[in-house]
């Protein structure tokens, strides 16, 4: 990392697994009878169910997002910059109750979603690391507008974009492929 001109970039995963040390030690920060996923879209008519426990955003607010702040600082200590995985989930999480109730977005209203996402993004930015965000897939326009306004680059995958690289926003990360 100390070599001149070399930077190490890492990943900031959106969620952690149900059996992780984080969930065991901070269970109050997670909804343990639900799973994170995605709503139905062009790739899946039933959406996706990831088997990962959603955050309790009300608890995160009560403790000033302590756990996310610790994770962000740790990532900044490990890497010069990091990619925030599944950005849209930090604005609005798609929650699938395990008891069969209807899935829902949390928070439910766009105003609250924007406020939550911008708070989380500010936590990431405050670390001083170079932060970029994975904003691929079905992402509401207000999320992309939000990250552009606060100055965080989103992703452009060459083979998925109708525009040419010369037409990409100056604040973006272009690539030929992704893990998705």
Q: Which residues does the annotation mark as catalytic?
A: 85, 134, 180
Measure the CA dihedral 28/18/96/67, to 10°. 40
Cα–Cα distance for residue pair 57/147, rounded to 1 Å? 20
Across the strands, what pairs with 55? 30
Number of Cβ within a 10 Å radius of residue 66:
13
Nearest to residue 134, comparing CAs of 148, 154, 104?
A: 154
């Amino acid at each position: 990392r100390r070599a001149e001109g070399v930077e190490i970039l890492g990943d900031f995963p959106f969620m952690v697994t149900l059996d992780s040390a984080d969930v065991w030690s901070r269970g109050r920060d997670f909804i343990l009878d639900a799973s994170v996923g995605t709503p139905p879209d062009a790739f899946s008519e039933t959406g996706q169910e990831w088997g990962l426990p959603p955050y309790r955003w009300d608890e995160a607010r009560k403790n000033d997002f302590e756990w996310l702040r610790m994770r962000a600082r740790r990532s900044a200590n490990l890497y010069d910059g990091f990619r925030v995985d599944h950005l849209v989930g930090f604005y609005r999480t798609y929650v699938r109750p395990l008891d069969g109730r209807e899935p829902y977005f949390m928070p439910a209203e766009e105003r609250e979603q924007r406020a939550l996402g911008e708070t989380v993004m500010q936590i990431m930015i405050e670390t001083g690391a170079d932060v970029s965000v994975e904003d691929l897939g079905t992402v509401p326009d207000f999320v992309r507008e939000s990250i552009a306004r606060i100055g965080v680059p989103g992703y452009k995958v060459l083979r998925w974009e109708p525009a040419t690289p010369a037409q990409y926003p100056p604040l973006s990360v272009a690539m030929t492929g992704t893990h998705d």
